Every structure is written in structure tokens, then in C-alpha cells.
């Protein structure tokens, strides 16, 4: 819990969220125990992973699989499970702790409404 979080006088009542899309600010990626890692050599860009990802954490560019939003990927492994060519491997975070999330790029937050 951040020391900088606002106090009870400074937040909307009733738990109402007045800034839509702010769940993007919640980095659920730090829940992850296993990380999906893509072998681009094997990948056929069928985008089954993109369809099945429950958190919208599979990045797509020009209709091709472009990696993961590790800031939000919870490591559920569904993408690895559905991949028809076994191009995705789930690797325990402990084994790759030296890899920075920043290397993989994170999607832009949704525009303010």
C-alpha cells in the first residue's frame, strides 16, 4: 500500500470510480508466478493466444503476435495451453528475475474521457 495514496476525505464516496479505464494503472503483472515467453521462430501468428487471453495482455501489431504486456499479464498460462505449435513456454519468474518488464513494452493507457 502506497504512502502517497489519498485519504478518506479525498476520494469519491461509495467506491465509485470517476476515471474510467483506470484499471490500467493497476499492474496485475506483479501477481505473476510464471511468465509466458514466445518463441517467434515457431509462432505462426494464428492469434489464438490473443483471442483467449483473459486480460488483453497479448500485444498485436500489423495482425501479428508482438509479445506480451507484462505489466498486466497474470501468468495464467492459457496462451501457452491453446498455442497449436507450442511456441509459448511458461517459465517460473524466479528463473528470469533478471529480465526487466520494460524490455517487453507496455500498451498505452486508454485515452481520458
Residues that bind another protein (CB under 8 A): 1-2, 5-8, 11-18, 20, 113
Name the minimum Å distance from CB 18 to another protein.
5
Phi, psi (degrees; rounded to nearest 5) at 25: -75, -10
Name the minimum Å distance from CB 25 to another protein.
12
CB nearer to another protein: pick between 97 and 113: 113
Tell me how far CA of residue 71 lies from CA of 7, 32, 39, 47, 83, in angstroms. Answer: 26, 10, 20, 20, 21
Are 29 and 2 spatial neighbours (Cβ–Cβ below 8 Å)? Answer: no
CB nearer to another protein: pick between 102 and 112: 112
Amino acid at each position: 500500500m502506497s504512502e502517497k495514496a489519498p485519504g478518506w476525505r479525498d476520494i469519491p464516496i461509495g467506491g465509485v470510480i470517476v476515471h474510467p479505464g483506470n484499471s490500467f494503472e493497476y499492474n496485475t503483472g506483479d501477481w505473476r508466478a510464471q511468465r509466458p515467453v514466445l518463441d517467434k521462430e515457431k509462432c505462426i501468428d494464428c492469434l489464438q493466444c490473443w483471442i483467449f487471453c483473459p486480460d488483453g495482455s497479448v500485444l498485436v501489431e500489423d495482425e501479428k503476435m508482438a509479445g506480451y504486456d507484462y505489466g498486466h499479464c497474470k501468468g495464467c498460462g492459457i496462451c501457452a495451453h491453446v498455442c497449436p505449435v507450442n511456441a509459448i513456454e511458461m517459465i517460473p519468474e524466479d528463473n528470469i528475475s533478471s529480465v526487466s518488464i520494460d524490455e517487453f513494452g507496455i500498451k498505452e493507457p486508454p485515452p481520458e474521457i
